[in-house]
Amino acid sequence: MACRGVFSFVKFNNPIIPGFYPDPSICRVGEDYYLVTSTFGYFPGVPVFHSRDLVNWHQIGHCLTSAEQLPLANASTSGGIYAPTLRYHEGWFYMTTTNVNGVGNFIVTSKDPAGPWSDPVPVAQQGIDPSLLFDDDGRVYFQTACLGDEGEGIYQCEIDISSGRKLTETRLIWRGTGGASPEAPHLYKINGLYYLMIAEGGTEYGHMVTISRSHHPYGPFEPCPRNPILSHRSRRSSIHATGHADLVQAQDGTWWAVFLGIRPVSYPMRHHLGREVFLAPVTWADDGWPSIGIEGRVEETMERPQLPECRWPGKPIRDDFDSNALGLDWIFLRNPKQGSWSLRERPGSLVLRGNASSLNDAGSPAFVGRRLSHFSSHISAELDFEPAYEGEEAGLTVFMNERYHYDLAVKLINGEKSVVFRRTVGSLRSEQTRRCSEGPVVFRIDAKPEIFSFSIEQNASDVIDMGSGESHLLSTEVAGGFTGVIIAMYAHGENGTTPAAFDWFDYEVADNHASGV
């Protein structure tokens, strides 16, 4: 960590956390900031980030690290964990979220944001996007976005924070301003008033942030006359779908918002990196209403907080798998099956053993991946895999969901070891194959904003081109869902007998605009 004891007045780049990290929530403890995001059908759940200047972030852990905390059986890639909220109160961190394929809304707690976190404490209120307010009088209010008895809107009850038990009936407190899908509620008490901030318009190109306030936690809530306080609807911008915000006051008294946004690549607009974390200043008008950014707009480059700059060590390009644990970047598709991966079977390598679940199933394939977080990057990995049975394969995948992915793999075809490049785009599938010799194969993926190019290298020979696939075919606009592209090592095979050993994995950023993460 390198912290400068002086204020920095230079610019910062948005997004502050690039790639598939949607629905950010933030809290401050002294001079430290902590942030969490959604993970949907991936495991572990809810990454925790740390910063000291609001711009430079590094991951310190996950909130949900066991199958007991986060069961994901049969969850879709866009199921599982929806929008979390992170709060700190009297020495404890509280994270509340929804497992839409499991217990519903729940809370976990920890003294240390890096973990371990407690077992889930269920809260018997329906809806998604739960949030918490610890009031001055000791009461704890719990909000969700819900389609309840009184229609669609934001509902609230009072809870016992230790047990999750409801102390009051659930009540509708605000319907929003009329935009679709009122969600992402956060209730704050600021200068004696209760401010209720939500997202409306759906988490697509009509996304926006609106706010209301009241003298009472249950309202009635008066909407801001200048709503929305953040929106890029119909704007000519490189950033779109801004919404789902959370507020934090810095130690110097300034206010800031973190929120999600997307960066479409081309026209018609399509995005494949997922919803990312953005930062903007919050300005309070004389009438007590806030505005995010520049009159509700944000830029890729903005003036940074006047806080001492604190940079974290840069990430290495290569993971040699020499550690006894996977790095925090690595994630699994649903809960990994026992025996599907190992760092001990062949020290210095990640060994995957395939099972009956393939990339096309809603199961738990042997799959270890990381988010694609930059438009331009060079990705490569060395695989030692000698398939013994037809149907076994192992390699790299550029994965959006079960119906949309590009794969580069070694497999046995008519008894011969071969490399296959496969494009799965909805109901359409195409393959190119070529024979390869025994021994390790280096897979290469050259990611650019509009295309992925795939190639192989073996025995230090020339690089062999295997084909390419358009990035927009793996975009949310085409593939659907709420996630972003994952680059993963994977294996598949009914028998699971042939180990697939990845000696190393490289991720080299080629963007001119790279985040501090």
Catalytic residues: 23, 183
3-state secondary structure of 479: helix
- Exposure string over 446-485, b if 16+ CB within 10 A, otherwise e: bbeeeebebbbbbeeeeeeebbbbbbbbbbbbbbbbbbbb
Spatial neighbors of 320 by CB under 8 A, at least 6 apart, are 348, 503, 504
- Give the chain's count of helices (H) and strands (E): 1, 41
**Ramachandran angles phi, psi of 160, nearest 5°:** -85, 115
The rounded radius of gyration (Å) of the Cα atoms in the chain is 23
3-state secondary structure of 216: coil
Spatial neighbors of 429 by CB under 8 A, at least 6 apart, are 422, 423
Show the tokens assigned to 6. Answer: 């002086």
Say if residues 208 and 228 touch (Cβ distance below 8 Å): yes
Asked if the bond preceding 449 is cis, omega within 30° of 0, the reply is: no
